[in-house]
């Protein structure tokens, strides 16, 4: 079923940047990720000059698809799940964005995640538009074969919207290489030919890329390193606290650890732990694998969620879900630099509080762009059927992220904005220039 977006976008407003006030119809602390995204666009709009006239295109998703995903459960019952795929903007290239399996997935959330992909891909200048998908499901409550049936039926339902030159999904929360393999196989079976480039984040044996698994965490580390350089903070002997110990959090933790930064606190959905002398990420990983939780890792103390956000550390890395740092806890943050591994973890009101308190926030659209950057490398390798070494991939990723950080930091310094607004200026200019050059069809 093709449906229209359910959230009314704001009317174009060419606000005076000196008298900016959030429009009353936006209540970002209540309305969730899509309202947060709209607020972020309102904040950048005054900086876009004549291109600002085209900004309406950024607050309307291009296509929104909602699908029913019925599957046969192992006990013979039939269960229905709701799935989505959203193309936010494809002015600069095919859609690109992950697939999330989570019981909290909603359409406005997927719309926001798709929009953030448009901004991210443009901010680091990879030639994709923005897309995202998800299924409202608790995958941990499914058996492996139920999970496979869910993935295959969802892929088949969204099949006409994806493709190597149309929209290329990738892993996100609770999806992984195996799920990408099933997606690739299902789409290829329906198409009648093998198309490895229809998804990224695949297993190596199916055209995946070396370095993809750790790429998002590596990008988090590279942008944090560049920010530390800018703020004269030495990595060796510094401290970091990480929320989320999955694909992003675990890879980032290992890199910080390798560079002499102590991992002092970790929070996951099952609790939080602290050790001022540093936690070995590998030991924590093994402990979670054995026990299913961070709690009880020898040598650590339990932390409440409130205490976790107050951790005394140079770096605080939210790498789990949206809306984690809000006006309720932004005033308690003691870190000097927040690196947004997750998408949308800091609300606009929290952004203002942190900005006033001198906490540097490296925005998601820059900090976690390492994943889509290596996804781009994977897609290029699949098309050319020529694969690069891990060293080459990591070096290219490091260079691209370092240059993106420098370019965005320069805009922030020149215009006197936050890094987030600067990243949005760079990205929105690229998207709207593409839109202007393409013209309006028909």
**Binding region for ligand NAD (CB under 6 A):** 171-174, 216, 243-249, 267-269, 319-321, 341-343, 368, 371
CA 176 to CA 100: how far, in whole Å?
10
Judged by beta carbon, residue 61 or residue 244, the one nearer ligand NAD is 244
The neighbour count for residue 325, using CB atoms within 10 Å, is: 25
CA 275 to CA 286: how far, in whole Å?
17
Shortest reach from residue 233's CB to ligand NAD, in Å: 23
Nearest of 396, 369, 366 to residue 380 by alpha carbon:
396
Nearest of 317, 354, 93 to residue 219 by alpha carbon:
317
Judged by beta carbon, residue 207 or residue 211, the one nearer ligand NAD is 211
What residue has token string 């994709």? Answer: 128
Ranked by CB distance to ligand NAD, the top (closest) residue is: 246
Shortest reach from residue 63's CB to ligand NAD, in Å: 20
Shortest reach from residue 219's CB to ligand NAD, in Å: 8
User: Does 283 qualify as catalytic in the annotation?
Assistant: no
The pair of three-digit structure tokens given for residue 265, joined into one six-digit string: 């606190």
Judged by beta carbon, residue 216 or residue 275, the one nearer ligand NAD is 216
Shortest reach from residue 267's CB to ligand NAD, in Å: 5
Long-range interactions of 183-191: CB distance < 8 A, separation 24+ = 183/99, 183/151, 183/152, 183/155, 185/152, 186/151, 186/152, 186/155, 186/156, 186/159, 187/155, 187/159, 187/162, 187/163, 190/156, 190/159, 191/163
- Residue 429: partners with Cβ closer than 8 Å, 6 or more residues away: 48, 51
CA 340 to CA 350: how far, in whole Å?
13
Judged by beta carbon, residue 45 or residue 381, the one nearer ligand NAD is 381
Shortest reach from residue 345's CB to ligand NAD, in Å: 7
Calculate ∠ Cα 343-362-54, nearest 5°. Answer: 70
Judged by beta carbon, residue 300 or residue 368, the one nearer ligand NAD is 368
Nearest of 409, 402, 413 to residue 423 by alpha carbon:
409
Residue 136: in which H helix or E strand, if any?
Answer: strand 130-136
Shortest reach from residue 243's CB to ligand NAD, in Å: 5
Judged by DSSP in three states, 4 sits in coil
Judged by beta carbon, residue 47 or residue 381, the one nearer ligand NAD is 381
Q: Check 132, 283, 289, 336 and give the catalytic one.
A: 132
Instruction: Provide the annotated active-site residues.
Output: 132
């Amino acid at each position: 079923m093709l449906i229209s977006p359910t959230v009314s976008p704001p009317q174009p407003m060419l606000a005076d940047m000196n008298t900016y006030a959030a429009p009353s119809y936006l209540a970002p602390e209540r309305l969730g990720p899509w309202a947060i995204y709209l607020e972020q666009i309102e904040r950048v709009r005054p900086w876009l000059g004549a291109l600002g006239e085209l900004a309406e295109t950024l607050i309307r998703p291009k296509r929104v698809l909602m699908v029913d995903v019925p599957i046969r459960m192992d006990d013979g019952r039939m269960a229905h799940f709701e799935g989505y795929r959203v193309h936010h903007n494809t002015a600069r290239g095919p859609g690109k964005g992950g697939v999330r399996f989570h019981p909290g997935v909603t359409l406005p959330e997927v719309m926001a995640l798709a929009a953030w992909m448009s901004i991210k891909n443009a901010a680091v200048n990879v030639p994709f538009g923005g897309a995202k998908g998800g299924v409202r499901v608790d995958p941990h409550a499914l058996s492996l074969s139920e999970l496979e049936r869910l993935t295959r039926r969802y892929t088949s339902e969204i099949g006409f919207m994806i493709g190597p030159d149309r929209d290329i999904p990738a892993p996100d929360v609770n999806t992984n290489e195996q799920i990408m393999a099933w997606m690739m196989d299902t789409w290829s079976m329906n198409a009648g030919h093998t198309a490895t480039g229809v998804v990224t984040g695949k297993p190596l044996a199916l055209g995946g890329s070396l370095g993809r698994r750790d790429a998002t965490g590596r990008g988090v580390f590279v942008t944090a390193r560049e920010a530390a350089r800018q703020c004269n903070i030495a990595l060796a002997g510094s401290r970091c606290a990480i929320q989320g110990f999955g694909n992003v959090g675990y890879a980032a933790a290992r890199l910080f650890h390798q560079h002499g930064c102590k991992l002092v606190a970790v929070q996951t959905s099952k609790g939080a732990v602290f050790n001022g002398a540093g936690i070995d990420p590998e030991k924590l990983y093994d402990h979670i694998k054995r026990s299913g939780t961070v709690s009880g890792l020898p040598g650590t103390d339990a932390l409440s969620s409130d205490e976790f956000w107050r951790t005394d550390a140079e770096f605080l890395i939210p790498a789990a879900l949206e809306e984690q740092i809000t006006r309720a806890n932004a005033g308690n943050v003691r870190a000097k630099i927040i690196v947004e591994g997750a998408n949308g973890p800091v609300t606009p009101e929290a952004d203002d509080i942190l900005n006033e308190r001198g906490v540097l926030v490296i925005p998601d659209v820059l900090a976690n762009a390492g994943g889509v950057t290596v996804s781009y490398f994977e897609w290029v390798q699949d098309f050319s059927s020529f694969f690069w070494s891990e060293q080459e991939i990591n070096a290219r990723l490091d260079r691209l992220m370092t240059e993106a950080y420098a370019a965005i930091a320069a805009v922030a310094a020149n215009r006197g904005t936050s890094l987030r607004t600067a990243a949005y200026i760079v990205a929105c200019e690229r998207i709207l220039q593409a839109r202007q050059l393409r013209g309006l069809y028909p």
